[in-house]
Amino acid sequence: MPSLNGGTVWVTGAGSGIGRTCAIAFAAAGGKIALTGRRVAPLEETARIIRESGGTAFVVPADVADAETVRAAHAKLVAALGDPLVLVNSAGGNVRRRHWANLESMGVSQVVDLDLKAMFYCTLAVLPAMRARRDGRIVHIGSQAGVSLQTLTGPSYSAAKTAVLAMSASLNAEEGINGIRSICLSPGEVETPILDTRPSPPSQADRALMLRPEDVAEVALFCACLPQRACVSELILLPTDDRLVRHAARAIEALVAAAEM
């Protein structure tokens, strides 16, 4: 089991999905967890799970899409737990009206603010102390939509997640000399509540073959706990049976079978 030796871990989007499972996994590895999100009740539920397992959790609600709120939340968690050794940028979301035919400017702003700018704000908050310590790990939860064209997610989400990849790469280029590692983890479809915001949510049969939040959390923890000399700068994690290419795979299978008859 990787160990964080009591280091502070700040997890955004910690009330559900990937954020919650990352918080639980990093707590099990010995981290003191600061939990941030917009809704207090889900954060308190995550904190309860961690505390019942003997871990330390501090709830610090915030809208991470607001720079001033992020700064205030960061100050509170530092006072309570100390400067973060690890930041997990997991807060994210999408809008239902997401395609060019029905996309609205307000929806664009909402997605870019949460899926890109919020990651900048939280990263800016933790960098000074990480530089001073000469050690820091920042895990950005990106998306398959950021590394290849995915029409399901819409242009705003795809653009934001593509930019997260570039942001993370620039962090490594500039801050690696200060012992800081930026990890961009890009999962394919994960069975989380965000799927319900899609114009046409996937079926239960499709969801059963998707990644689980626990899969992403396990990989995030592994990457964050490697020796300081090693940085997983980019990692793509896909379902084994990826429904986004399943139709093409079945078509190939049928063509091969027909040719061999």
By annotation, the residues acting in catalysis are 157
Virtual torsion, Cα 33, 34, 36, 39, nearest 10 deg: 80
Q: Which long-range contacts (CB under 8 A, 24 or more apart) does 241-249 make?
A: 241/209, 242/188, 242/189, 243/189, 243/202, 243/206, 243/209, 243/210, 244/144, 244/150, 244/152, 244/188, 244/189
DSSP state of 102: T
CB 58 within 8 A of CB 80: yes
Burial classification of residue 247, based on how many CB atoms lie within 10 Å of its CB (0-12 exposed, 13-18 middle, 19 or more buried): exposed
Phi, psi torsion values for 240, nearest 5 degrees: -60, -50
Q: Which residues contact 208 (CB under 8 A, 6 or more apart)?
A: 191
Structure tokens at 251: 């078509």
CB 159 within 8 A of CB 103: no
